[in-house]
Chains A and B, each alone.
Chain A
Amino acid sequence: MQTDLSARAVSEDITAQLPQVHEPRNPGMPLDLDWVMSAQANTSAIERRAATLPGRRSVKKDHQAAWLLKAVSLIDLTTLAGDDTPGRVRRLCVKARQPVRAELLDQLGMEGLQVGAVCVYHDMVSVAVEALRGSGIPVAAVSTGFPAGLSPYRLRVAEIGESVAAGAREIDIVISRRHVLTGDWQALYDEVAEFRAACGDAHLKAILATGELGSLRNVARASLVAMMAGADFIKTSTGKEGVNATLPVSLVMIRALRDYHDRTGYRIGYKPAGGISKAKDALTYLSLLREELGPRWMQPDLFRFGASSLLGDIERQIEHHVTGRYSAAWRHPMG
């Protein structure tokens, strides 16, 4: 395995969340169309696996609290709204540093817990970088004409560079869905590879917009192509599609990155995004991850939740765990 040493030395701001700290960075590989085309995804079987998983795995009491806190550490705390302002983003960043009330964390012996990253639009990157300075929490920027990915190609590439220059450590790019829908895998490969080059040391999360790809088979194939082109993470959705992260889609993507690891030795991260708003859902995703990939993947360098309202539900569950009484939303500081 090849280690990308240049990534190790990028800045004093290096964080535990970035994959290059622990894992050799995925250098990508030539497009292997035989492999891509052999990928299969049987929808009904995948749905059955996904539907029965919550009944097969259950975590209770202290284990549940620990798992939920783990989920907090894996959240890309996100605001992607047209009315975002510096003040709004700063508030989110303070929440990112202290996602759960301090005295609850004290009682659980989990002082210092932070979220995985803060995810914003380009114009908010510098505000977020400033607000998070010293915390070790990276800033992720959605990019490349997010969410539709239909702005001029050269601007999409340029957008990445601007966000990296503004201090974003992670770039969530969107792919051109039409390349998948027309089966133009070479074009998809070339696009992601160029985005990756534009990222430099920042790491690339490839948003597949799975709700717009038509089939799980396409999700499997697009996942493989994105990884071959050098994606550090593959991510389900922008949160703006009609259907965002689902368990069946997650199963397909997770299996694709397991195969990629089997064949190349590189671990790629996974980020389901959109629609995960309940603590129980987070537990199910984590158990899916543990079952299919094992505990190594349950770390911020290899897994993130793209979520905005999930944290609130987890906070209430944590308070319930500590006090034995059901909680209320207003008892927890807003982000």
Chain B
Amino acid sequence: MTVREIFESMDYGPAPEGAAEALAWLVDGGDRYGHFIDGEMTAPGDGFLSRNPATGETLATLTQATQADVDAAVAAARAAQPKWARLSGHARARYLYALARLVQKHSRLFAVLETLDNGKPIRESRDIDIPLVARHFYYHAGMAQLMEAELPGREALGVCGQIIPWNFPLLMLAWKVAPAIAMGNTVVLKPAEYTSLTALLFAQICQEAGLPKGVVNIVTGDGAVGEMIVSHPDIDKIAFTGSTEVGRLIRRATAGTGKALTLELGGKSPYIVFDDADIDSAVEGLVDAIWFNAGQVCCAGSRLIVQEGIAERFHEKLRRRMNALRVGDPLDKCIDIGAVVDPAQHARIDAMVRSTGGEVFRADCPLPEGGCFYPPTLITGLEPADPLMQEEIFGPVLVGTTFRTPAEAVQLANNTRYGLAASVWSENVNLALDVAPKLAAGVVWVNATNLFDAAAGFGGVRESGFGREGGWEGLLAYTRPSGKSRKLSRIEPLAFPETPRAEGMDRTAKLYVGGKQARPDGGYSRPVWSPRGKLLGHAPIGNRKDVRNAVEAAQGASGWSRTTAHLRAQILYYIAENLEARADEFAQRIANMTGQTARTAEAEVAASVSRLFTYAAWADKLDGAAKPVPLRGLALAVNEPVGVIGAFCPDEAPLLGLVSVMAPIIAMGNRAVLVASEPYPLAATDFYQVLDTSDVQGGVVNILTGSHAELAPQLAGHLGVDAAWTFSSSDLSGVLEREAAGNLKRTWVNHGRARDWMSPDAEGRAFLAAATEVKTIWVPYGEG
């Protein structure tokens, strides 16, 4: 084309970013790579090809890790860990700082290599991925520096196995590695087999930073290598980002092993547009929501929910905008959408789109010949029951429906198994800030989408996983309370005595469900004997239907989550007051059941009253935070209740154990299904009378009695329960974690370790953290 012809057409023309330096780096590496273990690259072994998805060309040959490779990497990490953790925070901070600087110094090389390997537009790798990587290392250099002062009493977990996806290869590496090593952990990381190259370049900058050998180890390979990491006995924690399906497998595989686990999984994030929104900006926002990285983003705004009155106009504007999108060579600085990562992914997207009955619009933009390109696609006229409204497509495909009222918008938005992110568009601050807390999501963007920063927590609820990455909350995933715990021994219920005695009037203990006393569904009870052979009463034997009823009652009491913190505090104080009034009776009950001295039993009651005060105090004091993100606006970290929490109470402290578990749950606005101490259940059944007289709304606290082992799979497997905890002396940790995989509910289990319920360690922030989810609400603002 001549200049004059271009002058007439005003076409863009090619604007390629040079790949020479990145290709030269690959040549320097011999186009073949081994693993990065104990500070050295290993010799390349048998492996697989890493391809450029935009052209199909081979970039390098990578090595499939063997069990021996993984063992060597874990051994190196294990050997390096104690010394690394013993370094001062400042010393670790200097290494993280060096990594941040080196990422910046090699930023273009990283960006080009990422784009070659992944197919994402160079604009994204250059302007978003790599700057966020550097930011994450800077931020966590600061966390290492501050750890001793700000996180007293917490220590590294040990060796972390980290498995990351192909959609943000280096960024996910940063999200995993930076907090882990900042806190004194060492890591064995497996990048996705499609996209390992920037991880291998990162290995090189670890060497340039002089990072001690074994602190970061990188092994390449497919899912089989991931399995080796997940099942490795000498790994303390698994952090995984990827599909919900694989997350569920990992949850089951690690159940009961004592490995800590955080999962960042899939999503089907709603993008809600109200009729008073800036419509053009909301349309433009969708470009960043669903066409960012070709929609291969776990938090992609993939479900468009538009108010009915503006839907037609909105869709028309959207279709026009889509037609202006440019799909093409990812290295071209003038394209919007690059290649999807692999032909397999392309085929999957295509099959899903073909299956729909909705109205399909494909953008009228030319696609390059060859390569893995998929056109921007909009599917409208869908209803929640359509599979594409439920299933994650993970491609440049937006599905949409309409709503009538704000309440219906929330209902539609939350009608999903996922809960990663959400966008809300409205110029009405009342509306936007009312809707944001109602959305089941770990991240909410108001009049924006896909904003990220190291200071702001990111992570999901429901089947989008658990754990946060970024911010102070993200450090919980890489630290634990320091100190040793002792083993917890099983406490058996007392058997039928040799010389049974029964006296006094028979009192009937029942289950407590929905604020009412309920007979057990099965119609069975168990006598409860004192150590001296006295019949103290009968405890109902709860079964699966009692679990069902209790959960239903708890779900029905959702109003509790919307009450004010002040009211929750008042009610906790009132429970304490009413408990104190019956202190002697409870002490007697405890002494009778456990055979403890009167003084010990009285101390337990007094501690219970104090504990209720503690959580009454906390109810209105677990502050959120306004994060200093690099944006004019607020990034609010809001502590929200988890929902319905099912908990197996400690056996050894029949009253204090129950109160210690119940009080933080309800203080934070959750509803509880509590399974009382199995050997000593009668303090709990007495306690519901205290609840009855303390204005506790029915269904907020439900109390079951019976066999922990029998009830554990029922409660942990219930898909309407949001979290499952056990402090039981029965070995429930494995079954709880395994059954929790069903809906990926949060778990908090004791792995057979004891806790001193009389100690101050048995209350406070750890309990509050387990009883809350941090939701990050981004509210950019500005007028002018």
Contacts and interface: CB of A to CB of B under 8 A. Distances in A.
Interface of A: 40-49, 52, 55-63, 65-67, 69-70, 108-110, 214-217, 255, 286-287, 290-291, 294-295, 298
A43 B13 contact: no
B326 to A, nearest CB: 9
B19 interface: no
A69 B282 CA distance: 34
Contact of B3 (A40, A44, A62, A294): A62
Nearest to A321: B3
Given A55-B123, A70-B10, A49 B281 contact: yes
B782 interface: yes
B696 to A, nearest CB: 43
Given A55-B123, A66-B6, A110-B3, A45 B447 contact: yes
Given A55-B123, A66-B7, A295-B10, A45 B780 contact: yes
B277 A110 contact: no
Given A55-B123, A109-B2, A109-B4, A44 B781 contact: yes
B448 interface: yes
Given A48-B448, A59-B12, 17 more contacts: A40-B278, A43-B782, A44-B633, A44-B780, A45-B282, A45-B285, A46-B278, A47-B782, A59-B15, A60-B13, A63-B6, A63-B13, A66-B7, A69-B3, A70-B7, A290-B12, A298-B10
A42 B427 contact: yes
13 contacts: A42-B277, A45-B284, A45-B447, A47-B782, A56-B123, A58-B12, A58-B334, A62-B3, A62-B6, A67-B10, A108-B3, A109-B3, A216-B784
B527 interface: no
B279 interface: yes
Contact of B784 (A40, A61, A214): A214
Contacts of B276: 40
B783 A62 contact: no
A120 to B, nearest CB: 27
A58 B333 contact: yes
Nearest to B127: A55
A168 to B, nearest CB: 28
Contacts of A70: 7, 10
B448 A62 contact: no
A7 B579 CA distance: 91
A132 to B, nearest CB: 22
B448 A44 contact: yes
Contacts of B783: 43, 215-217
A286 to B, nearest CB: 8
Contacts of B285: 45
A290 B13 CA distance: 13
A231 B531 CA distance: 96
A110 B7 contact: yes
Interface of B: 1-4, 6-7, 9-15, 123, 126-127, 276-282, 284-285, 324, 333-334, 336, 427, 447-448, 632-633, 780-784
Best-buried of B11, B279, B281, B336 by chain A (most CB within 10 Å): B281
A58 B448 CA distance: 25
Nearest to B632: A44
B784 A42 contact: no
Nearest to A215: B783
A286 B7 CA distance: 12
Contact of B15 (A46, A58, A294, A298): A58
A324 to B, nearest CB: 15
Contacts of A42: 277-278, 281, 427, 447
List the 3 shortest-distance A-B pairs measured between CB atoms, nearest first: A63-B13, A66-B6, A45-B281
Contacts of A66: 3-4, 6-7, 10
A69 B7 contact: yes
A47 B280 CA distance: 13
Contacts of A67: 6, 10
B740 to A, nearest CB: 39
A13 to B, nearest CB: 24
A126 B761 CA distance: 89
B623 to A, nearest CB: 25
Contacts of A58: 12, 15, 333-334
A210 to B, nearest CB: 11
Contacts of B780: 44-45, 48
A46 B448 CA distance: 10
Given A44-B447, A45-B448, A49-B281, A63 B11 contact: yes
B334 A59 contact: yes
A129 B7 CA distance: 27
A57 B335 CA distance: 7
Listed residue (B9, B333, B784) with the most chain A CB atoms within 10 angstroms of its CB: B784
A44 B451 CA distance: 12
A56 to B, nearest CB: 6
A48 to B, nearest CB: 7
A155 B270 CA distance: 56
A184 B280 CA distance: 25
Nearest to A57: B334
B269 to A, nearest CB: 18
A40 to B, nearest CB: 4
Nearest to A60: B15
B3 A290 contact: no
Contacts of B632: 44
Contacts of B9: 295
Contacts of A216: 783-784
B332 to A, nearest CB: 8
Nearest to A65: B3
A58 to B, nearest CB: 4
Contact of B427 (A40, A59, A298): A40
Nearest to B285: A45
B15 A110 contact: no
A42 B127 CA distance: 23
A214 B448 CA distance: 23
A145 to B, nearest CB: 26
A41 B784 CA distance: 10
Contacts of B278: 40-42, 45-46
A62 B10 CA distance: 11
A171 to B, nearest CB: 28
Nearest to B448: A45
A319 B781 CA distance: 43
Nearest to B13: A63
A334 B6 CA distance: 27
A215 B784 contact: yes
A195 B15 CA distance: 45
Nearest to A61: B13
Nearest to A258: B280
Give the residue among B278, B448, B783 with the most A Cβ atoms within 10 A.
Answer: B278
A87 B220 CA distance: 74
